[in-house]
């Protein structure tokens, strides 16, 4: 009987030690988080202030001078016959879990036709839904995709669009 009585205090002692260790670790973790927070918070506030000041300068510069972010004057794309289409985001035919995002710009011969640009946008979207991932893998696949889109644009625009310029191309 004495042994049975002697083991019960050890069990209580082990449980008490475990609870104490968890409490100490919680306090150390909380104190470390507080310390890191107090060290980083002033830096984050300073970065936010600098960003706000830069945004204010950029807004003032854009109103007054009409310059781009890098300091070079911007030439309106429409003046050169370039129309940037809205981003095209769709899933591929196979595997259907893969998504593609494509941004293109069209270089018109002569005057810009918004109707043709919208038709081309819809045609490219419909075409991309029929493409599989295996067809556009690698540099050769990308070149085939560019050639196919250029051919579709030529047919849709009846020669009014001279070039399709790829701005971004992402597959996820």
What's residue 68's pLDDT? Answer: 45
Pick from 74, 106, 109, 110: which is nearest to 88 by CA?
Answer: 106
pTM of the complete model: 0.55
Q: What is the mean pLDDT of residues 56-82?
A: 60
For helices 114-128 and 138-157, give the axis angle rounded to 10 degrees. 140
CB 142 within 8 A of CB 104: no
Q: How many domains is the chain partitioned into structurally?
A: 2
Q: Which residues contact 123 (CB under 8 A, 6 or more apart)?
A: 152, 153, 156
Domain boundary among 58, 74, 90: 74
Please indicate, yes or no, whether residues 22 and 82 belong to a single structural domain of this protein: no
What's residue 72's pLDDT? Answer: 45
Please indicate, yes or no, whether residues 52 and 92 belong to a single structural domain of this protein: no
Lowest mean pLDDT among 42-51, 93-102, 123-132: 42-51
Q: What is the CATH number of the domain that holds 162?
A: 3.30.479.30
Lowest mean pLDDT among 61-75, 128-142, 146-160: 61-75
Please indicate, yes or no, whether residues 108 and 40 belong to a single structural domain of this protein: no
Please indicate, yes or no, whether residues 159 and 116 belong to a single structural domain of this protein: yes
Burial class, 131, CB count within 10 angstroms (exposed 0-12 / middle 13-18 / buried 19+): buried
pLDDT surpasses 80 at 127: yes
């Amino acid at each position: 009987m004495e042994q049975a009585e002697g083991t019960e205090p050890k069990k209580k002692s082990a449980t008490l030690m475990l609870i104490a260790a968890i409490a100490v670790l919680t306090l150390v973790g909380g104190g470390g988080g507080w310390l890191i927070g107090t060290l980083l918070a002033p830096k984050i506030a300073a970065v936010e202030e600098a960003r706000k000041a830069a945004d204010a300068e950029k807004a003032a510069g854009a109103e007054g001078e009409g310059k781009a972010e890098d300091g070079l004057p911007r030439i309106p794309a429409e003046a050169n016959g370039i129309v940037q289409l809205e981003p095209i985001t769709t899933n591929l035919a196979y595997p259907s879990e893969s998504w593609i995002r494509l941004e293109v710009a069209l270089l018109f011969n002569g005057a810009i036709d918004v109707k043709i640009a919208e038709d081309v946008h819809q045609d490219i979207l419909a075409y991309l839904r029929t493409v599989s991932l295996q067809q556009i893998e690698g540099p050769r696949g990308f070149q085939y995709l560019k050639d196919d889109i250029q051919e579709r644009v030529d047919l849709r625009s009846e020669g009014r669009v001279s070039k399709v310029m790829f701005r971004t191309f992402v597959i996820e």
